[in-house]
Homo-oligomer: A and B are copies of this chain.
């Protein structure tokens, strides 16, 4: 689907294989993208209904808060997927996985940014992806409160609502030394020894908070780089289709495109040169990432 990893490092003069493949299959996934947006439509009123109401917060084993909204959204989306695509697999955050050996697997994070949600901050999102043979191919990043929806499918461009979006580095960003690194929480830089110190030393500044919104804003050209570790599959699956269709880069710490099997260490960058600069810096941390 995405071509061999090497193709992504091809020079701009030679279009990467991935791109050629997409051109040969224009909007092959248009119906799936429409269905993913339908799922986001189902999720949105549930999220809005629970937002800023007192919540019975359940603490899971990993200590992340999970809300009634989370559970209710995932139940509704699983039901819709089972009805429409009974052979497809589903990977969710709350109710585990079903048929992960299927060629097509839907990946759902009902409320990405549960801490933001419980604090009444509207920047949480609903993440929906369709992976084909393990490769995220359709992605939706939905913001139930603002009504913003980023979406993309292999073969088409990325859009915010109906408007095309494009990743691009900020004016004045010559290298990562000029860039503001976005990351949701200092803890997300603790997954690799030395990473937090490296980021502090190499970037102009670090901005915290944001969850999936950081990646959406990168796809829209407002953020240069996001680095996070410890992400779960449901946290990152929907990000790749959107960012790649917007012309940005999202890879693991070894520079590999994200699949459902990726390890949750993620670099997203507005362009290949910024990504390569980040990856070169990460390579100084350890031999084996």
Q: Of the candidates B120, B122, B209, which one forms a contact with A209 in the assembled complex, judged by CB atoms under 8 Å apart? A: B209
With a cutoff of 8 Å between Cβ atoms, the chain B residues found around residue A119 in the complex are 180, 182, 207, 214, 217, 222-223
- Report yes or no: B54 in contact with A171, Cβ–Cβ below 8 A: yes
Stoichiometry (number of copies): 2
Report if A193 contacts B (CB, 8 A).
no
- Report yes or no: B121 in contact with A217, Cβ–Cβ below 8 A: yes
> In the bound complex, how far is the Cα of B52 from the Cα of A170, in angstroms?
11
Report if A172 contacts B (CB, 8 A).
yes
Report if A157 contacts B (CB, 8 A).
no
With a cutoff of 8 Å between Cβ atoms, the chain B residues found around residue A223 in the complex are 119-120
- Report yes or no: B115 in contact with A180, Cβ–Cβ below 8 A: yes
> In the bound complex, how far is the Cα of B143 from the Cα of A145, in angstroms?
14
Report if A210 contacts B (CB, 8 A).
yes
- Report yes or no: B123 in contact with A207, Cβ–Cβ below 8 A: no
With a cutoff of 8 Å between Cβ atoms, the chain B residues found around residue A145 in the complex are 146
Nearest residue (CB) in B for A171 is B54
Q: Of the candidates B55, B57, B208, B217, which one forms a contact with A186 in the assembled complex, judged by CB atoms under 8 Å apart? A: B208
- Report yes or no: A52 in contact with B172, Cβ–Cβ below 8 A: no
> In the bound complex, how far is the Cα of B208 from the Cα of A10, in angstroms?
38
- Report yes or no: B209 in contact with A210, Cβ–Cβ below 8 A: yes
With a cutoff of 8 Å between Cβ atoms, the chain B residues found around residue A121 in the complex are 123, 209-210, 213, 217
> In the bound complex, how far is the Cα of B185 from the Cα of A146, in angstroms?
24
Q: Which of A197-227 contact B (CB under 8 A)?
A: 205, 207-210, 213-214, 217, 220, 222-223
With a cutoff of 8 Å between Cβ atoms, the chain B residues found around residue A80 in the complex are none
With a cutoff of 8 Å between Cβ atoms, the chain B residues found around residue A214 in the complex are 119
> In the bound complex, how far is the Cα of B82 from the Cα of A138, in angstroms?
55
Q: Which of A166-210 contact B (CB under 8 A)?
A: 170-172, 180, 182, 185-186, 205, 207-210
Q: Map CB proximity to B onto A69-94 as digits: 1 under 8 Å, 0 otherwise.
A: 00000000000000000000000000
> In the bound complex, how far is the Cα of B182 from the Cα of A217, in angstroms?
23
Report if A116 contacts B (CB, 8 A).
yes
- Report yes or no: B205 in contact with A120, Cβ–Cβ below 8 A: no
- Report yes or no: A120 in contact with B207, Cβ–Cβ below 8 A: no
With a cutoff of 8 Å between Cβ atoms, the chain B residues found around residue A54 in the complex are 170-171
- Report yes or no: A146 in contact with B122, Cβ–Cβ below 8 A: yes
- Report yes or no: B146 in contact with A217, Cβ–Cβ below 8 A: no
With a cutoff of 8 Å between Cβ atoms, the chain B residues found around residue A116 in the complex are 207
> In the bound complex, how far is the Cα of B123 from the Cα of A186, in angstroms?
20
- Report yes or no: B120 in contact with A220, Cβ–Cβ below 8 A: yes
Q: Which of A28-64 contact B (CB under 8 A)?
A: 52, 54-57
Which 7 A-B pairs rank lowest in CB-CB distance, beginning with the nearest? A209-B209, A120-B222, A208-B208, A120-B217, A208-B209, A115-B207, A119-B223
